[in-house]
Amino acid sequence: DVYKRQNPILMLETLTALGLIAASFAATNFDNLALLVSWLLATEHSARQVLIGHLLGMTALLVIAIAFGAGAEQLPLEYVGFLGVIPILMGVRGLYVVARRPSDEAGEGGRIERRSAGALAIAATQVANGVDSILVLGPLLADSERGADLVMITGFSAMVLIWFGLARLLEARAARLRILERYGEWLAPVVLIAVGLYILDNTATDIIAGE
């Protein structure tokens, strides 16, 4: 009976963890989606080369975020939740930047240019452009136990592949990416604030119980 009661709860908590990581990934990688499309549009290299660079770059970001989370876990439990302030500040800054942008510039972030780059250059660009991903994923990993960490790492890895697949779909439909970014520039900061509030609220009650 205890197992039957715990199983639906565990499933719900797992889905919650996956939802958090998917939302966080999307919120911090709208710009990387545009970069992927621009690299795919460039004729100097193949989709395979772009995929290799994308996987290398995102793997490096994941390793750094895991290291960040592991280091943050050394903090006393009552202080770990304050890491949620990081994505909250990022979200507030994002809303401020969008609100201050002149109306005639709205939506121009989705303008796609053809950019040529090798696999290593693509990876390096994604690492340099992924500080926000580290600052959001790191606190999420620090705020949860091993079971939740594994779920989030798995979810992050799945989102990396989904993001590349989405870039392939948008490769021939660059105008749709402009529409996504027009709304995404408002939605992404809101998601970051929500994730930060979750971290602040759930420090002492981790998503998935440890072994």
pLDDT in tens, 146-173: 777 888 899 999 999 999 999 888 876 7
Question: Given a cut of 70, is residue 144 above it in pLDDT?
Answer: no
pLDDT tens-place string over residues 108-129: 444 444 555 578 888 888 888 8
For residue 143, name the pLDDT band (cuts at 50, 70, 90): low
Q: What is the pTM of this model?
A: 0.71
Task: Give 83's DSSP letter.
Answer: G
- Rounded to 10 degrees, what is the CA torsion of 48, 50, 51, 54? 160
Q: Which residue has the tokens 């021939």?
A: 172
Nearest 5°: the CA angle 155, 156, 158 is 65
Q: Cα–Cα distance between 202 and 196 in angstroms, integer? A: 10
Task: Give 115's DSSP letter.
Answer: -
Nearest 5°: the CA angle 69, 75, 81 is 75
pLDDT tens-place string over residues 177-209: 666 656 656 777 787 788 778 777 765 444 444
Mean pLDDT of the chain: 76
Q: Cα–Cα distance between 81 and 92 in angstroms, integer? A: 18
